[in-house]
Amino acid sequence: MATEGGGKEMNEIKTQFTTREGLYKLLPHSEYSRPNRVPFNSQGSNPVRVSFVNLNDQSGNGDRLCFNVGRELYFYIYKGVRKAADLSKPIDKRIYKGTQPTCHDFSHLTATAESVSLLVGFSAGQVQLIDPIKKETSKLFNEENSCQHLWKVDWNEERENEGSKTSEEALVPVQRLIDKSRVTCVKWVPGSESLFLVAHSSGNMYLYNVEHACGTTAPHYQLLKQGESFAVHTCKSKSTRNPLLKWTVGEGALNEFAFSPDGKFLACVSQDGFLRVFNFDSVELHGTMKSYFGGLLCVCWSPDGKYIVTGGEDDLVTVWSFGDCRVIARGHGHKSWVSVVAFDPYTTSVEESDPMEFSGSDEDFQDLLHFGRDRANSTQSRLSKRNSTESRPVSVTYRFGSVGQDTQLCLWDLTEDILFPHQPLSRARTHTNVMNATSPPAGSTGNSVTTPGNSAPPPLPRSNSLPHSAVSSTGSKGSIADGAIASGVSKFATLSLHDRKDRHHEKDHKRNHSMGHISSKSSDKLNLVTKTKTDPAKTLGTPLCPRMEDVPLLEPLICKKIAHERLTVLIFLEDCIVTACQEGFICTWGRPGKVGLMSAPNQASSPGGTVV
């Protein structure tokens, strides 16, 4: 059920919850935070973010954790469900002056027990490359003379209330030559040890190479490719310099991007409410989707690359089919903006007459978690078989989760009655709360992006249980490598269809940061990108943005309040789920059967800052 009880019970902080696979339980001794465990005053600060890396050391405890809180950045050994966290001994801690860290990403290809490369983006637009194990700062990007060390470093021994070394770093006040806006997302390009991609609140993305020289003057660009609401430029110079490419995408901030599991495609979500999916190498637009209203804030890929889930200011999670380029479901459970969406590769299941367990290594897990590498796995062929065989002998269920500003964690199942709604009713295993739509689907009144060579098949007869805004194509599109997926029992989500009439959906959303209040901050963007302002009233009811009654509406398996402040992190690990809130507390939830692995705590229980 989505909720339990009412009133006071619904407002209580939950420390455990139960799903079909068993009991998930909060592990108080595995909570990470600032060493003093004092809740952080989050007003005016950037969201807390968490990054993981496995160093593959011989000790068997190679997991490392990085998180930012305010102007501070911490790097710890992550002990997960095995041992209690020791906050008195961070491997590295940095305090920044003049700017705040906003996001970060580890290089999993080059990580060793002696060295690890960590990219950190900042509120003032810079990107720093550091090694928290060696405690070195190698390069700074988006600064004048950025190849030089422009950081003032003071090492203070035995800081008050903290017994570890701390580096205080201050940006030298020089001009930012590439982009002055906040860094919203930074990631290493999958499969590359030197390329990384950076998104800014200006709506621009930049491709960098850590090996190339940094210019001392502002870059000059020349147009490489232009399309609907996007343009890509190369840096025009005598010698190769950063940035290698500049992407201008949509209107307003580019809030997040994610690479497909095989690294060939890039999904971007923007403040203008659009999901745009690009072929990263050819710089071609594969498809788009529009939010119900407001900006889109987060995006993730399914482990096999066949589906994309987004969340945003419409309080919904939206499931988009990569092959069909259409919305196949929406999920309603949050009461405020959705901050993070993520697939759970360990609960996502493939069921066949001959089920096979996934027994990947830690390295395989890290690859899957960060959507990076091609791996040969039998589950991949079985997922391909599932999507190409008429008899469909393989059953697939995808599990994903979401957290939001309403402090709630929601878990969702994406099941066969959603993925393949045209199958006969006799084959569907559950139809709980399924109703016919009360109003007819609206006709298409706008244009949607169509993928070359992929014409829409003729419509099939409408099912009595599930409406169709478009018909699923059985053809396989692209060459997305399927990720490794764990076997499990088949599960079906509870479905319902909106039966109420549309009420003023054509009006602009009145929240802050809604589409009507977003304007471009880049002066040259108006001249470089073909702009066609999108009227929400014209996109609503089209394949770009189906009406609520035209697609299935998912209900969450669970929806629990787990924090006092807005949630900003959701990461699925093999033994646990990791969440974090804006107060700076990183919480570990042991999976069913994994809680018993916890050894005796070596320190006092944390004062319940976020979880009581």
Q: pLDDT tens-digit profile of 495-530?
A: 333 333 343 443 344 333 333 333 333 334 434 444
Contacts (Cβ under 8 Å, ≥6 apart) of 492: 397, 413, 415, 416, 417, 429, 430
Q: Which of 197, 99, 242, 214 is nearest to 148 (CA)?
A: 214
Q: How far apart are CA 400 and CA 317, in angstroms?
A: 10
Rounded CA separation 315/301 (Å): 19
Contact 396, 416 (CB under 8 A): yes
Task: Give the whole-number percent of the chain exceeding pLDDT 90.
Answer: 51
Q: How confident is the model at residue 39 (pLDDT cuts 50, 70, 90)?
A: confident
172 or 19: which leads in pLDDT:
19
Contact by Cβ (8 Å): 295, 384: no
Q: pLDDT class for 594, splitting at 50, 70, 90?
A: confident
Residue 144: the pLDDT is: 61
Residue 326 in this model has a pLDDT that exceeds 90: yes
Q: What pLDDT sits at residue 534?
A: 62
Residue 353: the pLDDT is 40
pLDDT for position 550: 94
pLDDT at position 303: 95
Mean pLDDT of 447-467: 35
Per-residue pLDDT reduced to its tens digit, 167-196: 555 544 456 789 999 999 999 999 999 999
Stretch among 126-130, 160-164, 308-312, 315-319 having the lowest mean pLDDT: 160-164
Task: Kindly indicate the confidence band of residue 157, based on its pLDDT and cuts at 50, 70 and 90.
Answer: very low
- pTM score, whole prediction: 0.74
Contact 594, 576 (CB under 8 A): yes
| Greater pLDDT, 95 or 608 | 95
**pLDDT in the model for residue 329:** 96
First to last CA, the chain: 22
User: In the prediction, which pLDDT does 198 show?
Assistant: 98
In whole numbers, what is the pLDDT of the chain averaged over residues?
74
Distances in Å between the Cα of 357 and the Cα atoms of 263, 352, 571, 576, 597 are 25, 11, 22, 18, 21
Please state whether beta strands 326-332 and 553-554 pair in parallel, antiparallel, or not at all (unpaired).
parallel
CA 275 to each of CA 82, 204, 267, 580: distance values in angstroms, whole numbers, following the listed order: 39, 15, 7, 25
Tell me: pLDDT of 249 over 90: yes
What percent of the chain clears pLDDT 70, i.e. is strictly above it?
Answer: 63
* Rg of the chain over all Cα atoms, to the nearest angstrom: 24
Nearest Cα to Cα of residue 436 among 393, 468, 412: 468
Highest-confidence range of 344-358, 361-375, 537-551, by mean pLDDT?
A: 537-551
pLDDT digits (tens, 9 = 90+) for 24-36: 999 999 999 999 8
- pLDDT tens digits, 78-130: 998 988 888 998 999 999 998 999 999 999 999 999 999 999 999 999 999 99
